């Protein structure tokens, strides 16, 4: 890892040539992208495989030129460059009260005059495909960033392994139709802090996202998910619930669990997350009465 994300890039001509077997990443701040474009061929020849662009100043303004879609960057690190090459977008602005996925894509796509709009006009599965085509391997959210993403965009990004969040990042997931596209397990995986629904909604349904071979294993897995949220301060009290208190939230668990009920302590912990009902896939209530 070569970290030039906090200052100017050292002289590219002075970079050592790394072994081809090594996986080497260069981290640069967004204001230094012009230097990367100019020296992309040198970076390629130095056996640098991955580029991490730390998005700070560019959020709300856009990267210079065509951003990560610049032909020189694509030739050195894009999907067509092969091997272990790739581009990571690191969301690092701590001054903004909210950073949306759209802001990140607008920044990565370059200036407002950029005619390609390869990223910013995509959503859902099309967005994941476009990011992969551009060579993006990860959209990483900095520990101090306040990041907002819709469930419909988050789900394909998670499925493709294209998004991660550092411990401590504030992650908000929005939903507009009452059925969450991401599971409770996926929310735990991304470190979600809050799920926000539309102003006219009063109910929300989501899957647990766990596979189990026995009810004992099911309870262990659900306890593990709750513990993951609790470790980041979510669901430890009514004021830190994952879901909105005004919503009736139903958690669905796969399988037919007729006659089975979860134990009381686990149910109480799920309720502190903001979950009101717990059912199997046939609608049987498995919450203690």
Q: What is the CA radius of gyration of the chain?
A: 22
Question: Judging by beta carbons within 10 Å of its beta carbon (0-12, 13-18, 19+), is residue 199 exposed, middle or buried?
Answer: exposed
Where do the structural domains in the chain lie, given as residue ranges?
Answer: 1-175, 176-289
Scan for tokens 């998910």, then name that residue.
225
In whole angstroms, how far apart are CA 199 and each of 24, 170, 177, 203, 244?
A: 46, 21, 11, 11, 11
Scan for tokens 């919503």, then name that residue.
247
Compute the average pLDDT of residues 93-106.
90
Residue 269 has pLDDT above 80, yes or no: yes
Distance, CA of 147 to CA of 138 (rounded, Å) = 15
The tally of CA atoms less than 13 A away on the side-chain side of residue 40 is: 19
pLDDT in tens, 25-75: 888 999 988 888 888 777 766 777 889 999 999 998 888 888 898 889 998
pLDDT-derived band at 11 (thresholds 50, 70, 90) equals: low
For residues 4-39, one letter each, b for 16 or more C-beta atoms within 10 angstroms of the residue's C-beta and e for the rest, the string is bbeeebeebeebeeeeeeeebbbbbbbbbbebbbeb
Q: What is the mean pLDDT of the chain?
A: 88
CB 120 within 8 A of CB 109: yes
* Contacts for 226 with CB less than 8 Å, ≥ 6 apart: 235, 266, 269, 270, 273
pLDDT-derived band at 116 (thresholds 50, 70, 90) equals: very low
CB 69 within 8 A of CB 89: no
Distance, CA of 120 to CA of 27 (rounded, Å) = 23
pLDDT in tens, 172-193: 999 999 999 999 999 999 999 9
Between 148 and 62, name the one with better pLDDT. Answer: 148
Q: Which of 16-30, 138-152, 261-275 has the lowest mean pLDDT?
A: 16-30
Between 194 and 21, name the one with better pLDDT. Answer: 194
Compute the average pLDDT of residues 14-33.
75
Number of H helices, E strands in the chain: 9, 13
pTM for the model: 0.89
């Amino acid at each position: 890892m070569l970290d030039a994300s906090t200052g100017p890039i050292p002289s590219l001509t002075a970079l050592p040539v790394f072994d081809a077997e090594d996986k080497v990443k260069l981290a640069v701040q967004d204001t230094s992208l012009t230097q990367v474009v100019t020296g992309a061929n040198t970076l390629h020849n130095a056996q640098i495989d991955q580029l991490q662009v730390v998005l700070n100043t560019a959020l709300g303004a856009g990267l210079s030129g065509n951003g990560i879609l610049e032909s020189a960057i694509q030739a050195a690190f894009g999907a067509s460059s092969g091997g272990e090459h790739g581009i990571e977008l690191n969301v690092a602005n701590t001054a903004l009260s909210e950073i949306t996925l759209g802001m990140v894509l607008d920044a990565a796509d370059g200036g407002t005059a950029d005619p390609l709009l390869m990223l910013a006009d995509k959503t859902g599965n099309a967005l994941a495909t476009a990011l992969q085509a551009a060579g993006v391997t990860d959209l990483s959210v900095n520990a101090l960033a306040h990041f907002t993403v819709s469930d419909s965009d988050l789900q394909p990004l998670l499925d493709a392994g294209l998004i991660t969040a550092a411990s401590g990042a504030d992650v908000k997931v929005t939903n507009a139709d009452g059925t969450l596209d991401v599971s409770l397990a996926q929310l735990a995986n991304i470190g979600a802090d809050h799920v926000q629904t539309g102003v006219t909604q009063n109910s929300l349904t989501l899957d647990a996202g766990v596979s189990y071979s026995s009810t004992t294993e099911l309870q262990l897995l659900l306890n593990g998910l709750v513990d993951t949220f609790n470790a980041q301060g979510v669901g430890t009290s009514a004021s830190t619930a994952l879901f909105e208190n005004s919503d009736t939230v139903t958690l669905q668990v796969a399988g037919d669990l007729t006659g089975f009920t979860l134990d009381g302590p686990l149910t109480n912990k799920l309720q502190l997350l903001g979950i009101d009902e717990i059912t199997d896939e046939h609608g049987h209530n498995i919450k203690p009465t």
